[in-house]
């Protein structure tokens, strides 16, 4: 049952819905991974990495809300449940326990890289079916790429 009628065709809605759902899952998981690393990072660069991780969490949470609301606006039910996030995310597992600052940076570089690669695929997929969704994905990818740059600079 859909209470929201979409202006998109069924085929376009399927493409856009998949892109938005995938983006939502990746963003929710990115926020969780960054927060988990934030709580467990240790080392000489603790403070700077700790604060940088909170910036990623904030970005991911803000964009996940925008993505979920866009999905709702076009008639797609956003699904951010734990099981959906766990089964659909591009991000690998985070080790348990304390995480050295250099390892924390690597974890975030890898996580951001995985999410950005999938966001770029979604940008391409939504080009024709829905430029509005594509614009949202472009903006959030730019923000994620900025974080990726900063974490890569940490490990240079």
Secondary structure, 3-state, the chain: CCCCCCCCCHHHHHHHHHHHHHHHHHHHHHHHHHHHHHHHEECCCHHHHHHHHHHHHHHHHHHHHHHHHHHHHCCCCCCCCHHHHHHHCCCCCCCCCCEEHHHHHHHHHHHHHHHHHHHHHHHHHCCCCCHHHHHHHHHHHHHHHHHHHHHHHHCC
**Is-contact 78 24, C-beta < 8 A?**
yes
Q: Which of 84, 34, 99, 94 is nearest to 62 (CA)?
A: 34
What is the predicted pLDDT for the residue at 118? 98
Q: Two tokens at 94?
A: 């985070």
pTM: 0.95
What is the predicted pLDDT for the residue at 1? 52
Q: Which parts of the chain register pLDDT below 50?
A: none
Q: What is the pLDDT of residues 136-150, one digit of tens each?
A: 999 999 999 999 999
Alpha-carbon distance of 97 to 48, in angstroms, equals: 19
What is the predicted pLDDT for the residue at 58? 98
């Amino acid at each position: 049952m859909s209470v929201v009628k979409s202006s998109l065709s069924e085929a376009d809605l399927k493409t856009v819905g998949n892109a938005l759902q995938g983006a939502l899952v990746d963003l929710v998981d990115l926020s969780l991974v960054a927060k988990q690393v934030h709580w467990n990072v240790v080392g000489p660069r603790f403070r700077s990495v700790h604060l940088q991780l909170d910036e990623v969490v904030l970005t991911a949470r803000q964009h996940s809300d925008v993505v979920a609301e866009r999905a709702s606006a076009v008639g797609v039910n956003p699904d951010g449940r734990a099981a959906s996030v766990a089964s659909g995310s591009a991000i690998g597992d985070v080790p348990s326990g304390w995480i050295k600052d250099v390892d924390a940076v690597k974890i975030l570089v890898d996580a951001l890289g995985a999410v950005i690669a999938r966001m770029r695929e979604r940008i391409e997929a939504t080009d024709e079916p829905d430029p509005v969704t594509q614009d949202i994905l472009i903006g959030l990818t730019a923000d994620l790429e900025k974080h990726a740059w900063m974490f890569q600079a940490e490990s240079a």
